[in-house]
Structure formats: structure tokens, C-alpha cells
Amino acid sequence: MASTETAVIEQIRISEPRKHKVILHNDDKTTIEFVIVVLQSIFHKSLQESVEIATHVHVTGSAIVGIYTKEIADEKVVETTALARANGYPLMTTHEEL
């Protein structure tokens, strides 16, 4: 009796994690200078890019400051909120799935 080998090929689907946009919201108390510091220190933006984004937030009311996985977006929101509160600002940051 001949032995027959059966090859089992499993197809594994790996999907990219869903992305979330982190949004910075304008308020009447947080200074533009502080927003620039946040953009540079937490979101690693250049000075020029930080000034442009901060101005956009001030003029339009909000701006997307980054696209991340949900976990990283959560971290960015928590970090930004903690830094803002520690400095006495009500700056609000949220994230939404793309």
C-alpha cells in the first residue's frame, strides 16, 4: 500500500489595522503658542508645520493633526489632554475612525 501525503495550505489573511484621524479643536483659552508646543512635542511636527496647523485650527475650529492606529490615536489624545490640563488649558483632542 502506497502512502499518500496531503499538503494543507492555509491562507492567512492579514489586514491592515484601521486608521484613526486625530483632531485638534479650537477653544478660547488655549494659546496658539501652547498649541505649537503640543504639535512639536507630541505630534513631532516641524516649527513651520506646527504654525500652519495651529493657525488652521484657530481659523477653522479644528484640524487633523495625524493618522494613526486606534491605540496610538488613543495615546496621543491622552498625552495631549494631560499636557494641556497640567498647563491649565482646556485644549480638546479627539479621534475618529477613517
Evaluate whether residue 52 is within a structural domain: yes
Evaluate whether residue 16 is within a structural domain: no
Contact 39, 60 (CB under 8 A): no
| Residues 42-88: tens digit of each pLDDT | 999 999 999 999 999 999 999 999 999 999 999 999 999 999 999 99
Evaluate whether residue 14 is within a structural domain: no
Instruction: Give me the number of domains the chain comprises.
Output: 1
Instruction: Give me the CATH number covering residue 78.
Output: 3.30.1390.10
Predicted confidence at residue 38, as pLDDT, reads 97
Asked if pLDDT for residue 3 goes beyond 70, the answer is: no
> Is beta strand 62-69 parallel, antiparallel or unpaired with respect to 19-25?
antiparallel
Tell me the average pLDDT across 24-39: 96
Give the residue numbers spanning the domain of 42.
27-97
98: nearest Cα among 22, 17, 19, 15: 19
The pTM for the full model equals 0.81
Evaluate whether residue 88 is within a structural domain: yes
